[in-house]
Amino acid sequence: MRSGGKLNLAALASGNGSNLQALINECEAGRIDARIAIVISDNPDAKALQRARKHSIQAVALEREKFGLREEFDSALADAAEEAGADLVCLAGFMRLVSPAFLDRFNGWVVNIHPALLPSFPGLKAQKQALDYGVKISGCTVHFVDEGVDTGPIILQSAVEVLPDDTVETLSARILKQEHLLYPKAIQLIAKGAVKPGSGRKAISHY
Amino acid sequence: MRSGGKLNLAALASGNGSNLQALINECEAGRIDARIAIVISDNPDAKALQRARKHSIQAVALEREKFGLREEFDSALADAAEEAGADLVCLAGFMRLVSPAFLDRFNGWVVNIHPALLPSFPGLKAQKQALDYGVKISGCTVHFVDEGVDTGPIILQSAVEVLPDDTVETLSARILKQEHLLYPKAIQLIAKGAVKPGSGRKAISHY
């Protein structure tokens, strides 16, 4: 799937895009062998799109309500990523589930970052779920995306302590710091060929 | 529930009892304000019973098949612990589920150590579950026991890295090392009154 020496990334983001920024920074610094070819958002006002433009990265807004069926929307997303030459799709705070048809278009080369130590606390509000459960350790997980909700093969994880007086905000901030380190690290493992999506439960690792 | 200056523990173990040994050592060294009043096993050949005798701790075997209903067996367990003056029951590799009636007898003052970062991988063979799932971080959890399988309020957790070439044996050994540190630490939090069982989802902590 590689084109040239670097892995071409398409990033999908709905919001602030701080994980996107971490990827942009590490790509620009040459610490990961990848470049972000396009940033796509379902929200035309997403700060993620501004970040892309600031770094001269193609920025595309695709609004869900301008498409009929979900399949048509997902097709448009996949078309945009493919036309930009994406080898790997990185979900970075993208607030929609991507369909199996979308995943098939990229043959499993789709990754996500989740703010919990999966399989604990999949889905929305993972940090609140962790606090409500009362765990003492949470963290973040980079994984390949499959048809389930945060169930795909794990690439890397990082543990984060939960403190007695944590709120959703303080815990989320502590986890986010680790996300900004973990996501580029995982992308670099993929870029150098050390990890790829397998057909089974686990990613294929050679590191 | 405290009798005298130290917390009286009843330990329930079915096997080797290496976590029991860690508790014995820390009690004897005076690093936790507790003493083990009795070790009870459902297996008369358990090494845990030998460990107890070696340290002049009352050692009692109660074989399940010598009792009729599960309730009668659990009653005998609770009687033995109560007669030894136990303030807290510590499950240490006890291979049976204790009944709600048993938990009621101790008003929730029953703790367990589990070789995974709960709520991930409850139940048997937690280390194998973790390897099969492909997590990169697992660990261990000390929790109060409730009616569910490893679902009770969490007291402490410790994270352990899963290495690419780990087997069940190597991962279990790495987690066990952390268990030996974590269990005494959790008992000491209870002994000094910093943590107690709450009525809700979470333990009550003041540390």
Measured between alpha carbons, how far is A192 from A188 in angstroms, rounded to an integer?
Answer: 6
- Given B119, B134, B139, which is nearest A133 (Cβ)? B119
How does A159-191 read in b/e, with b if 16+ C-beta sit within 10 Å? bbebeeebeeeebbebbbebbbebbbebbbbbb
Instruction: State chain A's mean pLDDT as an integer.
Output: 94
The answer to whether the Cβ–Cβ distance between B164 and A132 falls below 8 Å is: no
Q: Is the confidence at residue B63, as pLDDT, over 90?
A: yes
A202 found inside a domain: no
Q: What is the DSSP letter of A6?
A: B
| A–B interface: beta-carbon pairs under 8 A | 63
Sign of the dihedral defined by the CA atoms of residues A107, A113, A119, A121, in that order: negative
- Given A135, A136, A153, which is nearest B134 (Cβ)? A153
A188 found inside a domain: yes
pLDDT band at B198 (very low <50, low <70, confident <90, very high): confident
B94 found inside a domain: yes
What is residue B130's three-state secondary structure? Answer: helix
Residue holding tokens 């062998």? Answer: A33
Q: How far is B190 from chain A (nearest CA, A)?
A: 16
Q: B194 or B3: whose pLDDT is higher?
A: B194
Domain that holds residue A126: 7-194
B199 found inside a domain: no
A2 found inside a domain: no
Q: How far is B65 from chain A (nearest CA, A)?
A: 37
Taking contacts as CB-CB distances below 8 angstroms, the residues of chain B near A203 are 134
The answer to whether the Cβ–Cβ distance between A119 and B120 falls below 8 Å is: yes
Measured between alpha carbons, how far is B58 from B80 in angstroms, rounded to an integer?
Answer: 10
Measured between alpha carbons, how far is A51 from A63 in angstroms, rounded to an integer?
Answer: 18
Residues 6+ apart with CB under 8 A from B188: B26, B31, B32, B33, B34
Q: How far is B133 from chain A (nearest CA, A)?
A: 7
Using alpha carbons, list the distances in angstroms from residue A65 to A15, A39, A40, A75, A99: 17, 19, 15, 14, 17
Q: Is the confidence at residue B124, as pLDDT, over 80?
A: yes
The answer to whether the Cβ–Cβ distance between B136 and A154 falls below 8 Å is: yes
pLDDT digits (tens, 9 = 90+) for B143-157: 999 999 999 999 999
pLDDT digits (tens, 9 = 90+) for B14-46: 999 999 999 999 999 999 999 999 999 999 999
The answer to whether the Cβ–Cβ distance between A157 and B164 falls below 8 Å is: no
DSSP codes, B10-25: EEE-SS--HHHHHHHH
Q: Is the confidence at residue B60, as pLDDT, over 70?
A: yes
Taking contacts as CB-CB distances below 8 angstroms, the residues of chain A near B139 are 137, 159
Residue holding tokens 């610094």? Answer: A29
Q: How far is B118 from chain A (nearest CA, A)?
A: 8
pLDDT of residue A3: 52
pLDDT of residue A59: 98
Q: How far is CA A155 from the centre of its chain?
A: 12
Of A167, A119, A111, A110, the residue nearest A139 (C-alpha): A119
A156 found inside a domain: yes
Q: Which residues of B touch A (CB under 8 A)?
A: 117-121, 132-137, 139, 153-159, 164, 201-203, 205, 207
- Given A117, A132, A164, which is nearest B207 (Cβ)? A164
Using alpha carbons, list the distances in angstroms from residue B189 to A58, A141, B185: 55, 30, 6
Taking contacts as CB-CB distances below 8 angstroms, the residues of chain B near A182 are none
Q: Is the confidence at residue B51, as pLDDT, over 90?
A: yes
- Given A157, A205, A207, which is nearest B135 (Cβ)? A157
ipTM: 0.92
What is residue B124's three-state secondary structure? Answer: coil
Give the whole-number percent of chain B exceeding pLDDT 90. Answer: 88
Q: Which chain A residue lies closest to B139 (C-alpha atoms)?
A: A137
Q: How many other C-beta atoms lie within 10 A of the C-beta of residue B180?
A: 19
Do A34 and A67 contact (CB within 8 A), yes or no? no
pLDDT of residue A206: 67
pLDDT of residue A72: 93
How does A109-141 read in b/e, with b if 16+ C-beta sit within 10 Å? bbbbbbbbbbbbbeeeebbebbbebbbbbbbbb
The answer to whether the Cβ–Cβ distance between B135 and A154 falls below 8 Å is: yes
A19 found inside a domain: yes
CATH number of the domain enclosing B56:
3.40.50.170
Residues 6+ apart with CB under 8 A from B138: B115, B116, B117, B120, B121, B126, B127, B130, B159, B160, B162, B171, B175
pLDDT of residue A16: 92
Average pLDDT over residues B176-182: 98
- Strand order through the sheet with B110-114: B58-61, B34-41, B7-12, B88-91, B110-114, B137-144, B154-161
Split into its structural domains, chain B has a count of 1
Question: Distance between terminal CA atoms of chain A?
Answer: 20
pLDDT of residue B204: 78
What residues of A are labeled active site? 114
Taking every pair of Cα atoms in chain A, the longest distance, rounded to a whole number of angstroms, is 49
Q: Which chain B residue lies closest to A153 (C-alpha atoms)?
A: B134
Residue holding tokens 């150590």? Answer: B113
B163 found inside a domain: yes
pLDDT of residue B205: 76
Q: pTM score > 0.80 for this model?
A: yes
Q: Which residues of chain A have pLDDT under 50?
A: none
pLDDT band at B129 (very low <50, low <70, confident <90, very high): very high
Q: Is the confidence at residue B3, as pLDDT, over 60?
A: no
pLDDT band at B97 (very low <50, low <70, confident <90, very high): confident
